[in-house]
């Protein structure tokens, strides 16, 4: 069997590495439109903020491909799929036959068709999606004093925080009535907006951009700000477009595959049109859902690698629970499940706590003694506990206040290392348990970085990094006590 992978982003590169960890011999060719090594797109905001260098967010070193006999064609796009002949044709004129084709083309930035974007984005207006976008933003930010971010979702907030950290005056323009409306309820959105104001980020809500205003800068068309529907004009040296993404399905649609929002697949990630074609990541659609987070994409990559190599012929993808983590400087957030329920819903119980002055908002939505949704903003020490209860649909503890405040009544904190069972999942993105971290440590990986390299814990959204460091530190302390 020969495998051709179209797309070398977070889903495609993970799939290739998962295949090689199971089968050293199956021929694998991977095409990546971007010329550099695959990287962690989730951590681009850290690059924007100056917290991480671009070379620190790589997922696969280029030398790995040769060492593992993978034909990697970086900077080469697939332009056509011939399903009848089972051949892909690339932008460099090459063609490669396949027995199994895996499409992992991800998503593209959504650019609204308002005036100022007819001929592409003008200088100084940049979509925030790729590492190349990040480099362009950093180049434009050098010398900029004001920026407008169009879109107050997760990506927009991360971009705004990164730019504000560089001393730029930032305004977020958001169409909805509160920030991150897909993950947060209005109360949490209000607290988040207040937190951002303290960090120098203003937010215009219920606001619609109607045009990018431009001017001539030495013969170059350059953005000068945005016009709003209410008549206001916001001047800006830099405009970041974070208006959402859309699955990249043009190649699949042209090949005659079934496409709705994404490429329609079944539990084996097989196209419902063609059994020789699989699709994973943000370009795929299982049921009615297109998953836009890293953990489901990596789960799909693992399932598909198990199936195609025969490592687990019973592996199936049956959907994933979506957990959002935002961990920007001075802003910590965990949100999961159905967060928009209120006290007027007779079928659920809602627990809430808010301290807007401290930037703290906590909410748990409960049905039948199970967590069906939760928000932790500003203070996330119980995020691990809530995530485990939600992910496993486990019964709640008798002391429900401990879901918000660990250590209530003098009890030990629920998610200190000594209290976490080995079966508990620490890294949701990579499905790494405390027991796997312990086993890795016992085999000789004695630092958080070493454990991360071996287990991949904390290499997704980075939200579990402090938990990983805490467990490693606790294991070191236990060893010193034992030796003493």
Each residue's pLDDT tens digit, 166-181: 899 999 999 999 999 9
Closest CA to 31 of 17, 19, 16: 16
Report pLDDT digits (tens) over 342-392.
Answer: 767 788 999 999 998 889 999 999 999 999 999 999 988 888 888 888 988
What distances in angstroms separate CA 4 from CA 187, 306, 434, one per listed residue?
Answer: 47, 16, 35
Q: What is the mean pLDDT of the chain?
A: 90
Every domain range in the chain assigned CATH 3.30.390? 338-415
Q: Determine the Cα–Cα distance for residues 191 and 198; give it in Å rounded to an integer.
A: 11
Confidence of residue 310 (pLDDT cuts 50, 70, 90): very high
Confidence of residue 329 (pLDDT cuts 50, 70, 90): low
List the beta strands (DSSP E) in 338-414.
349-355, 360-367, 370-377
Provide the CATH topology of domain 338-415: Enolase-like; domain 1 (3.30.390)
Q: Which residue has the higher pLDDT, 113 or 11?
A: 11
Q: What is the pLDDT of residue 483?
A: 47
CB burial of 373-394 (b: ≥16 within 10 Å; e: otherwise) equals: bbbbbbbbbbbbbbbbbbbeee
* Token reading at 291: 């998953």
Q: Determine the Cα–Cα distance for residues 477 and 173; give it in Å rounded to an integer.
A: 48
Q: What is the pLDDT of residue 480?
A: 58
Angle 131-141/154-164 helices, nearest 10 degrees?
Answer: 40
Q: Which CATH class is domain 3-106+246-309?
A: alpha beta
Q: What is the pLDDT of residue 9?
A: 95
Residue 408 reports pLDDT greater than 60: no
Q: Which residue has the higher pLDDT, 44 or 421?
A: 44
Q: What is the pLDDT of residue 16?
A: 98
Q: Determine the Cα–Cα distance for residues 229 and 150; give it in Å rounded to an integer.
A: 13
- According to DSSP, the residues that pair with 123 across neighbouring strands are 222
Instruction: Give percent of the chain with pLDDT exceeding 70.
Output: 95
Segment 221-231 shows an average pLDDT of 95
Q: Which residue has the higher pLDDT, 254 or 448?
A: 254
Q: Determine the Cα–Cα distance for residues 341 and 346; give it in Å rounded to an integer.
A: 10
Q: What is the pLDDT of residue 410?
A: 40
Q: Contact at 8 Å (CB) between 256 and 264?
A: no
Q: What is the pLDDT of residue 342?
A: 76
Residues 6 or more apart whose Cβ sits within 8 Å of residue 187: 352, 354, 361, 363
Confidence of residue 444 (pLDDT cuts 50, 70, 90): confident
Q: What is the pLDDT of residue 106?
A: 96
Every domain range in the chain assigned CATH 1.10.10.1100? 417-484
Every domain range in the chain assigned CATH 3.50.50.60? 3-106+246-309, 125-243
**CB atoms inside a 10 Å sphere around CB 181:** 18
* Token reading at 6: 């179209």
Q: What is the pLDDT of residue 484?
A: 42
Q: What is the pLDDT of residue 478?
A: 67
Range with lowest mean pLDDT among 96-110, 132-146, 222-236, 385-399: 385-399
Residue 146 reports pLDDT greater than 90: yes
Q: Is 221 exposed, middle or buried (0-12, 13-18, 19+ CB in 10 A)?
A: middle
For tokens 């209290």, name the residue.
419
Task: Select the CATH number that applies to the domain covering 417-484 from these four: 3.30.70.100, 3.90.245.10, 1.10.10.1100, 3.90.950.10.
Answer: 1.10.10.1100
14: left (phi over 0), alpha (psi -120 to 50) or beta: alpha
Q: Contact at 8 Å (CB) between 453 and 64?
A: no
**pTM: predicted TM-score of the whole model, two decimal places:** 0.88
Q: Which CATH architecture has domain 125-243?
A: 3-Layer(bba) Sandwich (3.50)
Q: Which residue has the higher pLDDT, 304 or 469?
A: 304
Segment 24-29 shows an average pLDDT of 97
Confidence of residue 418 (pLDDT cuts 50, 70, 90): low
Q: What share of the chain is helix, strand, coil (3-state, %, to 5)?
A: 30, 30, 40
Confidence of residue 431 (pLDDT cuts 50, 70, 90): confident
Residue 474 reports pLDDT greater than 80: no
DSSP state of 402: G
Main-chain phi, psi angles of 190, to 5 degrees: -70, -40
Counted residue by residue, the chain has a size of: 484
Q: Determine the Cα–Cα distance for residues 356 and 192; give it in Å rounded to an integer.
A: 9
Separation of first and last alpha carbons in the chain? 56
- Which H or E element spans position 154? helix 154-164
């Amino acid at each position: 069997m020969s495998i051709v992978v179209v797309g070398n982003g977070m889903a495609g590169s993970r799939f290739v590495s998962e295949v090689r960890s199971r089968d050293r011999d199956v021929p694998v060719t991977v095409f990546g439109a971007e010329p550099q090594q695959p990287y962690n797109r989730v951590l681009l905001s850290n690059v924007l903020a100056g917290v991480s260098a671009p070379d620190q967010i790589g997922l696969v070193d280029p030398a790995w491909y040769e060492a593992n006999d993978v034909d990697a064609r970086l900077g080469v796009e697939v332009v056509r799929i011939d399903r009848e002949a089972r051949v892909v044709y690339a932008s460099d004129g090459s063609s490669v036959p396949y027995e199994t084709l895996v499409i992992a083309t991800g998503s593209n930035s959504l650019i609204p068709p308002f005036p100022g974007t007819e001929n592409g984005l003008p200088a100084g207006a940049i979509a925030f999606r790729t590492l190349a976008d990040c480099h362009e933003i950093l180049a434009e930010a050098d010398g900029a004093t004001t920026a407008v971010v169009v879109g107050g979702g997760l990506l927009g907030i991360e971009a705004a925080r990164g730019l504000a950290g560089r001393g730029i005056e930032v305004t977020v323009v958001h169409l909805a009535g509160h920030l991150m409306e897909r993950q947060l309820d209005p109360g949490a959105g209000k607290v988040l907006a207040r937190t951002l104001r303290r960090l120098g980020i203003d937010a215009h809500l219920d606001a619609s951009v109607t045009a990018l205003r431009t001017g001539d800068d030495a013969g170059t068309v350059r953005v000068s700000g945005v016009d709003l529907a209410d008549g206001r004009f916001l001047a800006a040296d830099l405009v970041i477009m974070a208006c959402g993404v859309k699955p990249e399905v043009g190649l699949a649609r042209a090949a005659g595959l079934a496409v709705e929002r994404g490429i329609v697949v079944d539990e084996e990630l097989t196209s419902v049109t063609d059994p020789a074609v699989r699709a994973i990541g943000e370009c795929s659609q299982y049921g009615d859902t297109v998953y836009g987070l890293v953990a489901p994409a990596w789960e799909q990559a693992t399932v598909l690698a198990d199936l195609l190599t025969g490592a687990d012929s019973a592996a199936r993808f049956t959907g994933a629970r979506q957990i959002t983590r935002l961990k920007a400087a001075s802003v910590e957030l965990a949100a999961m499940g159905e967060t928009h329920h209120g006290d007027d819903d007779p079928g659920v119980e809602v627990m809430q706590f808010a301290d807007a002055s401290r930037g703290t908002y906590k909410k748990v939505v409960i049905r039948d003694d199970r967590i069906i949704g939760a928000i932790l903003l500003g203070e996330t020490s119980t995020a691990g506990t809530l995530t485990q209860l939600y992910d496993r649909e486990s019964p709640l503890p008798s002391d429900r206040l401990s879901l918000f405040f660990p250590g209530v009544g003098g009890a030990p904190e629920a998610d200190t290392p000594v209290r976490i069972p080995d079966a508990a999942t620490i890294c949701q993105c990579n499905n790494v348990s405390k027991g796997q971290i312990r086993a890795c440590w016992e085999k000789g990986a004695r630092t958080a970085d070493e454990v991360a390299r071996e287990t991949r814990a904390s290499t997704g959204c980075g939200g579990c990094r402090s938990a990983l460091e805490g467990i490693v530190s606790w294991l070191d302390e236990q060893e010193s006590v034992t030796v003493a």
